[in-house]
Chain A
């Protein structure tokens, strides 16, 4: 703990910030109930909820300064996070390395299928285990080149997201990266996408999360992850001559079953409107942003030839293939676009990024994430104005939202229902748990209906309350609350009693735990429920608090 506060103090000193009363840990500044409520609110919205002692820490820095710091994550040291992620070894591997090391060889895959079919459904566990052993011996040669199973790649990505949400000091950075990953959603369950997603987050989204929207949009458009997910890599001029098509062997492995569905032999290639539609509907203009089906088709024609080289072979990369590009002139949202190769797509992205509908659509979505399901019009107007004035400067837009009076107003507090990721991360943070392996936590988030990186539709996960309120989801939350507090989640250590040190009676313990876990205060029914507690069982009380209606909100 000293280390962390030491770093915080050093950081604050290096920024030239004046810390009232010196070190945050030793001497909290004066507290007022409303100021603390604002701090809790900010910790819930800019990040994944308060950790023990964090309200005091922010109070010491000053809330406005803390928000400014979060808006400039590069100024926040986050070295300890890297050490926590080091155990997940697939995170730092390139796409090619992942494909080489974690994809089951084709011939082995086929044999496994055959074996399973032979054994049938009635095989006992022992039989299956024996067959597995024999199989591993038989194919030891082919499997030796594998460093792990394909599933491991997704599991580690999911775990890393949880670790970052729990431990990163750059909380707002993590929230914003998550926002953009959801906005520009891809689905790790679609064929080789699982090998592309990590690099997509690391190299495409994260470095541009705070930059110009247009740069982020263009980078996603060229990413193998997006090109594959929304099928643009398959899109070709339908009138491209077969001879022209045939020459396009390049980086593709043809005829094998590794080709994605729809790319089998004997199928005429043609225009694929998938990306063209989603880039307008979901990434920029919004569904009512003023485009027509004709625009979709024209945009699709502009993007013909935007494809992937080296998928499944080496390091996949964007390539423009002029041979399958539709060279005729187009017209998009009223703008004439002269047939001119790769530049057409770039031009389209510029038109979309600078369109007023985009400014409003992105601003609304950000305001929904940070303020309310139905964000106040004033906040959206201000953010959209900033978007237009700054040429889509994301940091400026987020700043406009987080510094608007509506953001900190009491009416905005606790109005959002936490998503499963937010709930789990905030419960772990609040309880001061130590996470040594986040995979079990990530699985729990999946059971609550939010399997990370596994949202199939391009819409991403919803950011409104009703999407996360269901019986199965609530039950999963209550059980996680009980398991977490009781120390029954694998890879997570928690000391519930330690959250209420020295409490001699139930009332004192409940009061201490409430202050820790729900610093914004308890509802009357929750308070009454705790009053009925008779045993000195900190895990139980902590479980009730983490499962309470108010903890489901932020």
Chain B
């Protein structure tokens, strides 16, 4: 019924003059769209294998302190900044994640510990690939799990912004048949100004006319995206009061996700990534490289939550990393490649204020291959739960082929 173009022009920000369509229709469209309460999933991929044990710290485990003589985070002591921030009497947040503590306490943030992939590779390359394809151990999978979800749950009112990645190229997670937009920076998603407006119009006409061409739809979507983004230039975007994103690429990308969500452009899945977690040396404890990365991540997530305010009710954000790190620190105040790590889940329907997942323990007999935190939650069960209970997915078998996605395996992080 409604074309994408029509839909786009009629929704969102002050999306301008509309020509001939009656105002009542515009309002009706707005209402219909709002009424549907589009749910959104935001994926944060921490590339490089984040040390889950120094992120959500099992401070009660004696093995933890023993195996990490120089990089262990001290057990909480009265909320001091040089120790873990207590979550539940067993686990504490790395002090650099302080901005997340209020969110955990008010129930909008949860952690899931000992998450990972059943494939035992310790290669970043393979493990990221498996986590993004959603098919551990199967290398030939061509599309990503996020894209397969979009393929299964097709929408007549889908916009070009239904799946957006704030990265220079489309990540493996979003690769596949369903349309998805990659934009390193929405402020630069535009044609070169040197061409002038007439050139843009020229291109638009050429692609609009190429009706039997596969490029026709893409051309149309591209110009719609450009046109829309012209109204939301980042320079003009003011996050909600109190939402203070950290400087740098990562804060910017999450800020841009918030910007798109607040503009109601139909985002169902958004992808961001943040690198620099591969701390073989100088990982540090309370201070150090990991602390720097966590500070940025925590600030960004907290700012995003504050920025979206009420809208956060319709959003779930999940962090993923390809694997965790060795329980024992190495000779360079760092850690080597391990197995399980931790995920954060934040948003409206989240059963927050809790560290989910079965804790496998750190005593020598409980470690995987005698060295790593064992996996008790398959990442596909965590994502599967979010897809089913938040996005309303019906066919997990298509999203994670070869994996039995039964609710009994869900970690229980989303309210059913």
Chain A residues with CB under 8 Å of chain B are 110, 113-114, 116-117, 120-122, 187, 189-190, 231, 257, 260-262, 264, 266-268, 274, 277-278, 281-282, 287, 417, 446-447, 449, 451, 456-459, 462, 465-466, 469-472, 474-475, 478-479, 482-483, 486, 488, 523-526, 528-529, 532-533, 540, 543-544, 547-549, 552
The verdict on B234 contacting chain A, using a C-beta distance below 8 Å, is: no
Of A486, A528, A547, the residue contacting B209 (CB under 8 A) is A528
1/0 per residue B83-112: CB within 8 Å of A?
Answer: 000000000000000000000000000000
Within the complex, the shortest CB–CB distance from A300 to chain B, in Å, comes to 13
Whole-angstrom CA separation of A329 from B372 in the bound complex: 35
Would you call A282 and B292 a contact (CB within 8 A)?
no
Besides A262-B122, A472-B189, A474-B215, 17 other A-B contacts (C-beta < 8 A): A114-B289, A257-B281, A257-B330, A261-B124, A261-B337, A282-B140, A447-B168, A457-B172, A466-B214, A470-B182, A470-B218, A471-B222, A472-B169, A488-B192, A525-B207, A529-B202, A549-B213
Would you call A549 and B282 a contact (CB within 8 A)?
no
Within the complex, the shortest CB–CB distance from A489 to chain B, in Å, comes to 11
Complex interface: chain A residues within 8 A of B275 (CB): none
Chain B residues with CB under 8 Å of chain A are 121-126, 128-129, 139-140, 142, 160, 168-170, 172, 177, 179-183, 189-192, 194-196, 198-199, 202-203, 205-210, 213-216, 218-219, 221-222, 225-226, 246-248, 280-282, 284, 288-289, 292, 295-296, 330, 332, 336-337, 369-371
Whole-angstrom CA separation of A264 from B371 in the bound complex: 11
Whole-angstrom CA separation of A466 from B281 in the bound complex: 43
Would you call B194 and A488 a contact (CB within 8 A)?
yes
Would you call A456 and B203 a contact (CB within 8 A)?
no
A-B contact count (CB 8 A): 176
Q: Which of A116, A466, A478, A486 has the most CB of B within 10 A?
A: A478
Whole-angstrom CA separation of A249 from B196 in the bound complex: 64
| Interface pairs (24), CB distance under 8 Å | A110-B281, A121-B247, A190-B125, A261-B123, A268-B369, A278-B139, A278-B140, A449-B170, A457-B129, A457-B172, A459-B140, A469-B215, A470-B218, A472-B170, A472-B189, A475-B191, A478-B203, A479-B191, A482-B195, A486-B192, A523-B209, A528-B209, A540-B196, A544-B199
- B167 to chain A: closest residue by CB: A472
Would you call B206 and A264 a contact (CB within 8 A)?
no
Q: A257-B280, A447-B168, A525-B205 are in contact. Are A117 and B288 (CB under 8 A)?
A: yes
Q: Which 4 A-B pairs have the closest CB atoms?
A: A525-B209, A117-B289, A549-B210, A262-B122
Q: Which of B208, B209, B247 has the most CB of A within 10 A?
A: B209
Would you call B129 and A117 a contact (CB within 8 A)?
no
Would you call B122 and A264 a contact (CB within 8 A)?
yes
- B251 to chain A: closest residue by CB: A121
Complex interface: chain A residues within 8 A of B192 (CB): 479, 482-483, 486, 488
Complex interface: chain B residues within 8 A of A267 (CB): 122, 369
Within the complex, the shortest CB–CB distance from B262 to chain A, in Å, comes to 21
Would you call A471 and B181 a contact (CB within 8 A)?
yes
Would you call A466 and B177 a contact (CB within 8 A)?
yes
Would you call A114 and B248 a contact (CB within 8 A)?
no
Complex interface: chain B residues within 8 A of A120 (CB): 292
Of B218, B246, B369, the residue contacting A121 (CB under 8 A) is B246
Complex interface: chain A residues within 8 A of B160 (CB): 471
Within the complex, the shortest CB–CB distance from B404 to chain A, in Å, comes to 18
Within the complex, the shortest CB–CB distance from A128 to chain B, in Å, comes to 12
Complex interface: chain A residues within 8 A of B246 (CB): 121
Q: A475-B189, A482-B191, A529-B205 are in contact. Are A110 and B125 (CB under 8 A)?
A: no
Would you call B206 and A470 a contact (CB within 8 A)?
no
Would you call B215 and A264 a contact (CB within 8 A)?
no
Within the complex, the shortest CB–CB distance from B136 to chain A, in Å, comes to 13
Within the complex, the shortest CB–CB distance from B349 to chain A, in Å, comes to 30
Whole-angstrom CA separation of A528 from B281 in the bound complex: 62
Complex interface: chain A residues within 8 A of B225 (CB): 471
Complex interface: chain B residues within 8 A of A417 (CB): 214-215
Whole-angstrom CA separation of A527 from B225 in the bound complex: 25
Would you call B129 and A456 a contact (CB within 8 A)?
yes
Would you call A187 and B125 a contact (CB within 8 A)?
yes
Complex interface: chain A residues within 8 A of B222 (CB): 471, 474-475, 478
Would you call A264 and B125 a contact (CB within 8 A)?
no
- B208 to chain A: closest residue by CB: A525
Within the complex, the shortest CB–CB distance from A461 to chain B, in Å, comes to 11
Would you call A475 and B194 a contact (CB within 8 A)?
no
Would you call B183 and A543 a contact (CB within 8 A)?
no
Whole-angstrom CA separation of A465 from B289 in the bound complex: 43
Would you call B170 and A470 a contact (CB within 8 A)?
yes
Would you call A547 and B140 a contact (CB within 8 A)?
no
Whole-angstrom CA separation of A215 from B73 in the bound complex: 56
Whole-angstrom CA separation of A417 from B214 in the bound complex: 9
Complex interface: chain B residues within 8 A of A524 (CB): 209
Within the complex, the shortest CB–CB distance from B209 to chain A, in Å, comes to 2
Whole-angstrom CA separation of A458 from B141 in the bound complex: 10
- B181 to chain A: closest residue by CB: A471
